[in-house]
Amino acid sequence: MPDKVSPRLREEIARAIDDLGYVPNPAARTLASSRTNVIGVIIPSVTNNVFAAVLLGIYTALESTDYDIQLANSRYSALREESLLKVFLGQKPAGLIVTGIDQSEKSRELLEKAACPIVQIMEIDDNPVDLMVGFSHYEAACVATRHLIEQGYRGLGFIGARMDPRSQRRLRGFHDTASGAGLFSENRVITTTAASSVTLGAQLFAELMDRAPDLDAVFCNNDDLALGVMFEAQRRRIPVPGRLGICGFNDLEMMATAEPPITSVRTYRYEMGRHAVNMLVEAIEGTGGDGAVVDIGFEIRKRRSTSLGSPGL
């Protein structure tokens, strides 16, 4: 143990390690221990800015610990996630951080049998595998849709891409809220499983306007799409917000710097990453802490793109 070695001897050992260029063998360490000091993280994308913020929070929180990260990309594939979980669990991780609540039956079984703490991130529900930190995508979409209605928009539309489970819950929140107000029309909804982009947002909005000329507000399932809608509206000389309201999701930096600035659902992704690590480390080290499910919340950042009913926005 380090505290049983004199400072002088510790310095001599450290100097010898540097001179020899010694690198610890993690495989040998694993054989000698019931676990490694590695925390496995599985996310569905390494290029999406949403997950970049989550990872920044994770890495920042880990800087003050003795744990290392092993990162993997599931690419939105349930089968790939299963394969990655088998690899990670075979390496005796100290803990795992996984994205979402929609694991396959096999993945769920692997997680429930894992001999380490698990944190599911990005969402919440009442059936966590172990620990969970996130927010309700359904409720966030409900609140965003109500905002559009309160601003005076009546021809409400939805544009969605990728349509992973979180996007599907956003669509359901839009559907239920618009339907409850008597304002839902299937004709004003357009979705695709294609990867999201600004260009795709412009294309989908053009298609939607051609088939639903009564459209006067669009809730987009992410900010890339919302920015594309804005560009296409400007090309068509459609006044925003006077003739069209636009609301995005995630509130990336570009939403505040667009002209006009675009309303969006702010999600606390960096904070989520930090909180996930803190929960995991507390569970690993048995120091207690938050309950099993932490709702980190969201916020509607109201900007000029939806200010039809509130000129002061």
**In the chain, where are the structural domains located?**
29-135+269-297, 137-266
- Kindly report whether the global pTM for this prediction surpasses the value 0.85: yes
- Other CB atoms within a 10 A radius of the CB of residue 249 amount to 28
C-alpha 119/C-alpha 131 separation (Å) is: 5
pLDDT of 16: 65
Task: State both tokens at 70.
Answer: 């092993």
Longest dimension (CA), the chain: 80
Partners of 110 in beta bridges: none
What are the DSSP E strand ranges found in the chain? Answer: 38-43, 68-73, 95-99, 118-121, 131-134, 156-160, 189-191, 217-220, 245-250, 263-267, 293-295, 298-301
Task: State both tokens at 200.
Answer: 């795709």
Residue 20 pLDDT > 90: no
C-alpha 175/C-alpha 177 separation (Å) is: 6
Q: Which CATH class is domain 137-266?
A: alpha beta
Task: State both tokens at 205.
Answer: 């909005």
% pLDDT > 90, the chain: 83
Could you tell me the pLDDT band of residue 312, with boundaries at 50, 70 and 90?
Answer: very low
Place of tokens 């008597």: 182
pLDDT of 205: 98
Residue 60 pLDDT > 70: yes
Are 283 and 95 in contact by the 8 Å Cβ rule? The answer is: yes
Residue 95 pLDDT > 90: yes
Are 17 and 45 in contact by the 8 Å Cβ rule? The answer is: no
Residue 288 pLDDT > 90: no
- Taking all residues of the chain, what is their mean pLDDT, rounded to a whole number? 91
Could you tell me the pLDDT band of residue 281, with boundaries at 50, 70 and 90?
Answer: very high
Q: Which CATH class is domain 29-135+269-297?
A: alpha beta
